[in-house]
Structure formats: structure tokens, C-alpha cells
Chain A
């Protein structure tokens, strides 16, 4: 399931719902991304996430479908927020339910790595002095995503 939303989400409720009533699930893995108060060498007061409505949902659905092709998953959930967020706020949730931990953990790792290089979101950071700049894409994220091209988990 894919959700792109401005609102926060209830982590416990989302994870409970993912495996609720499905007793084939033996493992539930999740990754939660939070806004940090530092970026590079400077403090961050807030960030605004811009996205491409429509393409974002399509890309996330394709990434999710790829995870289901690679691993035996009972359920998956991707929630990604947009709009203005402050340090400590939740940005993204990726969760995977499977019979066993290996598939759930690997698929969760895969989803966040691919999401970071394919889903059309852009972060604009605000400094405490009122300045701001667009976050630059990092090569380390490209390498992390590319590793899944070779390694099927």
C-alpha cells in the first residue's frame, strides 16, 4: 500500500494494521526516516518536501511491486510525507510483513534504498538564520540503490 500525505502517521497503528488478522506473518520489519537538526556542517531549522503528485505514487507503486517480485511478502506499506517538517518529525515509513525475518528485513532495506533514488521528492532545508537551500543528491545513496541491481537480496 502506498500513501503520500501531508499529515503525520501513527507508527504503532500502521504496523499493527499491516499484519492484522494474517497469521502467515511471522516477521514485520520497518524503517522510519526522521528530520535531523543537522545537515552537512550546518544546523537545520526545518525542511520542506516538494513532490510530483501522480508520478510519486506511480514510482512508489513500481518500487513496491519490484519488492514483491523479489521476496515472498505478505504485505508492504510505504507512507511518505510532504510539506514543511521540523527536526524530529517523521518523514517516511517503510514496512514489510513476511513469514520470516530475512525477506521482511531485506525488502525493507531495498524499498528505502530504491525510494531514495527514484521517488520524485525534493528537500529544501531552512537554516535558523532564515537562509535555505535545496538538498543535493548524494552519491552514497546512488551506490546503495545500485547495489540492489546486482544483489537480489
Chain B
């Protein structure tokens, strides 16, 4: 998967993009968030409150139970503040 981070999610983690092989046992967005939290450090900080994180898969907003595959582009970011 390509995993993208934006705004304060990016700055807490320290990178805007990384390639991650779909981890064993991770089936959906909620599972990936739990897996990223367990990495600790900036990841634990960024995902400390998942209610503050919005998720897009292949550039469409999705809910935490959205399934994932290795070909997906997954993006994590805060609520948007444009306009």
C-alpha cells in the first residue's frame, strides 16, 4: 500500500508518504490504525485520538470498517480547513 499523511498527522509522524505491505491480520482501516499506533513514537502521537483522523482510500472518504488491499492508496489527515 501507499500510505499518505497530511497536515499535523504528517508533521507528528515525520514523513508524508511511505510504502507499507498490508500487515498480517490487518483487514480494514481500523486495523491499520491500530497497527500504526503500535509502532509507537510519532505514530502513537498522531493516532492517539482516532476521532480526530479522517481517512481516504483511493482518494475517497471511507469509514473505519472499509476493507484494505495491498494495491490501495490510504491517506490519513485531520478534519479539513480549506476555503
What is A's interface to B at a CB cutoff of 8 Å? 33, 49-52, 54-55, 58-59, 80, 91-92, 112, 115-124, 134-137, 141
CB pair B59 A54 closer than 8 Å: yes
Chain A, Cβ-Cβ closest to B56 = A55
A136 to B4, CA, bound (A): 20
How many residues on chain B are close to A (CB under 8 Å)? 17
CB pair B81 A122 closer than 8 Å: yes
CB pair A122 B7 closer than 8 Å: yes
Contacts of B6 in A (CB 8 A): 50, 52, 120, 122
Can you list 16 pairs linking A and B with CB atoms under 8 Å apart? A49-B82, A50-B6, A50-B7, A55-B56, A58-B60, A91-B82, A112-B83, A117-B79, A119-B80, A120-B6, A121-B80, A122-B6, A122-B82, A124-B7, A136-B81, A141-B83
Q: How far is the CB of B42 from chain A (nearest CB, A)?
A: 15
CB pair B78 A134 closer than 8 Å: yes
**A-B pair number, CB within 8 angstroms:** 72
Query: Given A52-B56, A55-B56, A55-B75, does the pair A134, B8 have CB atoms closer than 8 Å?
Result: yes
Contacts of B82 in A (CB 8 A): 49, 51, 80, 91-92, 115-116, 119-123
Instruction: Tell me, yes or no, whether B43 is within 8 Å of chain A by CB.
Output: no
Contacts of A116 in B (CB 8 A): 80-83
Instruction: Tell me, yes or no, whether B35 is within 8 Å of chain A by CB.
Output: no
CB pair A120 B56 closer than 8 Å: yes
Which one of A33, A50, A92, A118 has the highest number of Cβ atoms from chain B below 10 Å of its Cβ? Answer: A50
Q: How far is the CB of B79 from chain A (nearest CB, A)?
A: 3
Query: Given A50-B7, A52-B6, A52-B75, does the pair A122, B80 have CB atoms closer than 8 Å?
Result: yes
A115 to B81, CA, bound (A): 9
Q: How far is the CB of A83 from chain B (nearest CB, A)?
A: 13
A106 to B48, CA, bound (A): 39
